[in-house]
Amino acid sequence: MSIFEYNKEEEEQKLRKAEYEAGIEAGVAEGELKKARETALSLAEMGLPVDKIAEAVKISRDKVEEWMKESMSIV
């Protein structure tokens, strides 16, 4: 194996590792957002004001309102 081939293989391994780690991070972020949405909708069902829901789940008021509208259109 030449030094060029070794460097190419090493770079490909680094790239795969970086892509894998980015995929893991994206999956975790997606899961956290999904859980925040579920919690926000549960709090809304309990009658909590939108401002308090947004504060509790650490998401913008606009996003919480969007989730609530989407939830109402599904029902």
Distances in Å between the Cα of 17 and the Cα atoms of 11, 12, 14, 40 are 10, 9, 5, 35
Q: What is the pLDDT of residues 32-75, one digit of tens each?
A: 999 999 999 999 999 999 999 999 999 999 999 999 999 988 75
Whole-model pTM: value is 0.75
Locate 34 and state its tokens: 């999904």
What's the pLDDT score for residue 4? 63
What's the pLDDT score for residue 43? 98
What's the pLDDT score for residue 73? 87
Q: What is the pLDDT of residues 2-43, one digit of tens each?
A: 666 768 888 999 999 999 999 999 999 999 999 999 999 999
